[in-house]
Amino acid sequence: MTAAEEDTPWLRLARISRSHKENIRLWNGYQKYLLGSFLFDYHSQMENPRFADIADLSDAEIRNIQTRIPDLPIELERHGAIVLTEGLTEIKTPLELDGFYFAFRVVIGNTTFKRSFFLNNAQFAANLEVYNCIFKHRLNATAAIFGPSTEFYECRFIEGASFNFTKIEWSSFSKAIFKMTANFHASIFNGSNTFEDAIFKGKADFSNATVDGRINFDKATFCDGASFDDARPDRSAAPLSFNATEFCKHPPSFFGRKMHENTDWTGVKLPNAGRKTAQCECLQENDKRADDTVQMADKPMDPKVQAAQSRDLLEDDKRAYEQLRIKCGALGKVEDEHMFFRREMELTGRLSPWYTRATYWLYHLVSDYGHSYWRPMAGMVGYGTFGAYFTRFISWPETSCICAWTGSSFCSAPWACLLRIFLPSLGFIGGFPVIFWPIPRL
């Protein structure tokens, strides 16, 4: 522990012994001692078996702690906070808080963690507020239990973050950047949670997650794969929001996951199957949110590396679109269903043999896979205009049309020439069949 870290009372308490088990006992016991001044909160937390099992410290142990750490608070206000990194801008040694119990609000701000930060099996009875922090090594919070509110605002996770099997009531990861894999496997989200404007540069794993509340991914960017698969036997639908979310490389994976009818796909940006590279704006060197000191921006890739995605990956993406189309169709979300259908057709055409790709290309060109009615109308008008010009001035300059039913003739005006595009043809006027045929003009 550095000299600056030695001057921080809460960090000294967390590392007061060389034995981690002893550190857990002394930290948790001191938390219980501080909370004893507030009987209501004390009895309320005693309902938590984890808090009730904490062994009380003797008076001698408490005096020994306060003697060794003179700046350590001997009491806190009811809504006071444990400012864990007070006065520090960086922590150079690993911080192991596995199994710690936090009875009060915890605040960590404007700090760079140069080594790993461990919160495995930790429990927060009150809020956790982490803002403008950089975690250069891994943040491990596996099986942690977070309190009523958890916030990681504008934090950067350089070597990945593990929140597997965690329990979260309300959380905000707004504007966070995950450079490596973000793991939230089998986590439980009970309340409202937001990843708004977050950037996932690595893979995002939300597989087997339980969402009893709602998760908001509005304006988030997924530069690699995002898994929302669910392999549990007791699956439940979860409302998710992907409003204006961008998926740069792969579509979201929803295999086995029940889709909620309130899932929002408005303005979502899906990857382009024909694009040779999988890079997106968040990987550019001029990213305003990047920091050269932590090398957040990726280096330009070698042209040989920027090759087309392998066939297996494209097949996986196609199946992912198929699942999304089926789930949206079952919920009657027609626009969303057709959006994923178009992407599925795009990949089907790309994966099909060379001699059938033209049909998919024409299907896309003529009607955007059945989604656009303007393209066929524009094509018919353009085709008719060209045909009218061709027949009027080039092909049949001295012909006109006669109606076989009425015997009347049409002049060779341009509007009449439109009929010649489809002549001879059968039509109906007033319920009677009419045949138009070009005849020489007398």
Summarised one tens digit per residue, pLDDT across range 171-180 is 999 999 999 9
Measured from the Cβ of residue 71, the count of other Cβ atoms closer than 10 Å reads 11
H helices, E strands: number in the chain: 11, 32
Rounded CA gap, 400 and 441, in Å?
Answer: 6
Residue 234: what pLDDT?
80
How far is CA 327 from each of CA 149, 206, 228, 250, rounded to the nearest angstrom?
Answer: 32, 18, 13, 18
One-letter amino acid identity for 301? M
Question: How many C-beta atoms lie closer than 10 Å to residue 363's C-beta?
Answer: 15
Largest CA distance in the chain: 123
Give the pLDDT score at 40: 83
How high is the pLDDT of residue 363? 80
What Å distances lie between residue 233 and 160, 208, 256, 415, CA to CA?
A: 29, 10, 10, 66
Alpha-carbon dihedral angle through residues 285, 287, 291, 292, given to the nearest 10 degrees: 20
**Residue appearing with tokens 């955007």:** 368
**Across 34-43, 367-376, 428-437, least confident range:** 428-437
Average pLDDT of the residues of the chain? 81
Q: Give 351 or 284, the one with higher predicted confidence.
A: 351
Using DSSP, state whether 21 is helix, strand or coil.
Answer: helix
Report d(CA 91, CA 111) in Å as an integer. 7
